[in-house]
Amino acid sequence: MALSDDIDLLRRLDFFSVFSDDALRMILFAAERRKLAEGEKLFSKGNPSTGGFIVENGLIALSYDPDQPDIERVGRGALIGEIALLASGERPVDAIAHTDANLIVLPRALMHRLLSEYPDAAKKLADQINTRSLDLYQALQRMESSAQTKQS
């Protein structure tokens, strides 16, 4: 895949929309690539998170329990592990290649370096995350209020 195609792929993701083309080039030059065969595990629920992944092609199945149906299958352009790009934690799901897949591997250390080198983008990203968190909080409040109304 051409560099310009990869930059377009990143640009379509909200998380990366705050970065300049130069910053996106830096990410792509420093990122690793990983190929998965169908059925191969990307990571397991409970594993420590070390960064995120962008699906270049193929499908990745996400599930809470391997004995249950997938909660989601994500394909080209999906960002897996957005929070893991910024903070450590445990993987909340299993991720297994549903088909052969190619991924861009983004280590957390790379993102931290990028954010320190592009403080304006870091500020925009923080604002974006704050807005999304507030939107989520408000949606949860509405759901709670609606559930209380139904119980009355």
The predicted-structure confidence for 99-118, as pLDDT tens digits, reads as follows 999 999 999 999 999 999 99
Choice among 14-23, 30-39, 89-98, 126-135 with the minimum mean pLDDT: 126-135
Total-model pTM:
0.85
Interhelix angle 108-117/119-151, rounded to 10 degrees, is 120
Angle at 147 between CA 144 and CA 149, to 5 degrees: 110
CA distance 101 to 40: 9
Mean pLDDT across the chain? 91
Output the pLDDT for position 55. Answer: 97
Cβ-count burial of 75 within 10 angstroms (0-12 exposed, 13-18 middle, 19+ buried)? middle
Residue whose entry in the numeric block shows the structure tokens 């130069």: 22
Output the pLDDT for position 150. Answer: 75
pLDDT at residue 36 is higher than 80 = yes
Output the pLDDT for position 138. Answer: 87
CA distance 77 to 37: 18
Q: Which CATH superfamily is domain 3-151 in?
A: Jelly Rolls (2.60.120.10)
Output the pLDDT for position 133. Answer: 86
Q: What is the amino acid identity at position 93?
A: V
Closest CA relative to residue 102, chosen from 58, 60, 61: 58
